[in-house]
Structure 1
């Protein structure tokens, strides 16, 4: 079936420079890169740490390229349909349009629709893959949906408070509460690899009714920077149920 027009190539607007229409620069590639090798441009062999994902600039470039591919695909689809429409209009005006041409046109339209659905599906997969490699997105998801501690999964939750001291970061902790202690006590928090005085202002609150443990740590303003660690024991029984650690910044 003859046509009177030609679909614009992907990556161009299909406009005529002489007609004053604006054009876009040609894309660096004409189709999405759907390689399954598992590598990246910065790590082509895929030998790097698979948990870290691609660097942010590469991810941004990937997303922009997928969007450019989708735009080019849109121009191609529009161009194909305009060309076909011009062909039908020409034949109608010339009186050369036959009854069997209608069946051919319906078949051609269906084929173009199926091809468009397949192309858009691949573009969507490319876009999801590019976004999924974004390390900033992974960090945001971890902040919004933190993994529960092992203790939380057994029914107990553990929280802490450093009295608003911005120099102190109490590390997440989990304690063995299988003996159902009524209280907890902690040894002095000793600095690891240093000579600073220990931290002694540690107070636990155990709330069995809601299976929750809360610790408050008072760190002097003059406390030396470093990593501090102490042993937590159950009361009664004096059984070691875990450790408590924190970091003091300079």
Structure 2
């Protein structure tokens, strides 16, 4: 649980502060981080074991696929806390997930694999392909196997166009995962567009919250500090808002 004391100055009249810096946001995230393993095992220890096993398999599979592309001079990015995403989807079993940012498909694959094991759910993804590559669309979600794609709708025109289109086609969002443009303004724009479709028990995941104070400000403004968690992964931080108990 994120400390309540850090939010007192934001209880009223919350505004975007232009002087926020990445070092300060990183310090805030580090001061609120907790163990992902302890959190997950408290909910379902066996499921966390499955999530870490998935993470090991996914990493090995990705290494092979991305190395083969690198040998051709093609370098793809992407990442994220795959074990956590897999666990959250398996545990909360969202029927509609919405993510921004696909890249090579690490996070998409984790969500879709978890949905496959749940035998339910559909993922909607907003992506802007790697423009520097020839025929860039073929590389978006490269790591996602064909058999997982029956539960997947990916739009490739960037968030400004994709997000309104996706929101026009879904009735609700059970899990929201943000991993595209990391600026404060972009996060806030997409969040404000999407939150009208959030289910009452929505799970919200923001990657790279150490880049600015958006996650801190959001949970303060909405009174979500008691449901917010901060987890570390690969030297970065992930912010999660959980359903009400």
TM-score by length of 2: 0.20
> How high is the TM-score relative to the length of structure 1?
0.20
Q: Determine which structure has more spread, i.e. the larger CA radius of gyration.
A: 1
Ranked by relative contact order (alpha carbons within 8 Å, sequence separation 6 or more), the top structure is 2
